[in-house]
Amino acid sequence: MSRTWLMMEKSPGAGSAPHVARIESVGRRLPPTRLTTEELMASTRHHTNVDLERLTGIHERRVSTGDEDSLSLAAGAAAECLARSHHGPEDLQVLVNSSITKYRGGLSQWLEPATSLAIARSIGATEAQTFDVSNACAGMLTGVFLVANRIRRGDISCGMVTSGEYISQLGQNAAKHIRNVLSPELASLTLGDAGAAVILERATAGEPGIEIAGFTTVSDHSRLCLAYPAHNDEGARMFTKSRAIHRIAIADTPVLLQEALDAADLSITDIDFVIPHQTSARAIRKGMTELGEVFGGLPRHPVVVTVDHYGNTASTTHFVALVEELEAGALEVGDRVALLALASGLEIGVVLFTVDKGLVGLYGDGA
- Please tell me which residue, 109 or 156, carries the higher pLDDT value: 156
Write out pLDDT tens, residues 194-204: 999 999 999 99
* pLDDT for position 16: 64
Between these two residues, 348 and 58, which has the higher pLDDT value? 58
pLDDT, tens digit, 9 for 90 and up, residues 24-72? 999 999 999 999 999 999 999 999 999 999 999 999 999 999 999 999 9
Please, which pLDDT band fits residue 254 given cuts at 50, 70 and 90? confident
355 and 333 Cβ atoms separated by less than 8 Å: yes
In-domain check, residue 248:
yes
Whether pLDDT at 154 is above 70: yes
The per-residue pLDDT for 250 is 82
Pick from 170-174, 252-256, 343-347 the range whose average pLDDT is largest. Answer: 170-174
Residue 346, preceding bond cis, omega within 30 degrees? Answer: yes
Question: How many distinct structural domains can be found in the chain?
Answer: 1
Residues paired with residue 198 on neighbouring β-strands, in sequence order: 26, 161
**pLDDT, average across residues 178-186:** 92
Residue 331 domain-assigned (yes or no):
yes
pLDDT at 138 > cutoff 70: yes
What is the predicted pLDDT for the residue at 14? 40
**What's the pLDDT at 9?**
45
Q: How far apart are CA 5 and CA 216, in angstroms?
A: 5
Confidence of residue 169 (pLDDT cuts 50, 70, 90): very high
- In the structure, what pLDDT confidence band is assigned to residue 7 with cuts at 50, 70 and 90? very low
Q: Are strands 129-132 and 94-97 parallel, antiparallel or unpaired?
A: parallel
Whether 15 is covered by a domain: the verdict is: no
CATH of the domain at 213: 3.40.47.10
Return the closest-CA partner of residue 75 out of 168, 163, 201, 200.
163
Q: Does 3 fall in a domain?
A: no
Q: What is the pLDDT of residue 224?
A: 87
User: What is the structure's pLDDT at 242?
Assistant: 87
Q: Distances in Å between the alpha carbon of 240 and those of 115, 226, 279, 345?
A: 27, 7, 12, 12
Q: Which of 251-255, 272-276, 330-334 has the lowest mean pLDDT?
A: 251-255
Bridge partners, residue 354, by sequence = 336
Instruction: Answer whether residue 131 is part of any domain.
Output: yes
CA separation for the pair 37, 147 (Å, rounded) = 37
What contacts 104, CB < 8 A, 6 or more positions away? 69, 70, 71, 110, 115, 118
| Maximum mean pLDDT: which of 109-113, 236-240, 331-335 | 331-335
pLDDT in tens, 214-250: 888 888 888 888 888 888 778 899 999 988 888 888 8
Q: Is 224 domain-assigned?
A: yes
For residue 12, the model assigns a pLDDT of 52
Which amino acid is residue 228, in one-letter code?
Answer: Y
Residue 129 pLDDT more than 90?
yes
Average pLDDT over residues 326-342: 96
Q: Evaluate if residue 1 carries a pLDDT over 50.
A: no
- Average pLDDT over all residues of the chain: 91
pLDDT for the residue numbered 220: 83
Question: Phi and psi of 139, rounded to 5°?
Answer: -60, -50
Quickly state the pLDDT bin for 6 (edges 50, 70, 90). Answer: very low
Determine, yes or no, domain membership for 14.
no
Average pLDDT over residues 167-182: 93
Exposed e or buried b for every residue in 152-181, given b needs 16+ CB within 10 A? beeebebbbbbbbbbbbbbbbbbbebbeee
- Per-residue pLDDT band at 365 (split at 50, 70, 90): low
193 within some domain: yes
Per the structure, the complete domain to which residue 57 belongs is given by 21-361
Q: Are strands 60-62 and 34-36 parallel, antiparallel or unpaired?
A: antiparallel
Q: How many CB atoms lie within 10 A of CB 133?
A: 16
Is the predicted pLDDT of residue 292 greater than 80, yes or no?
yes
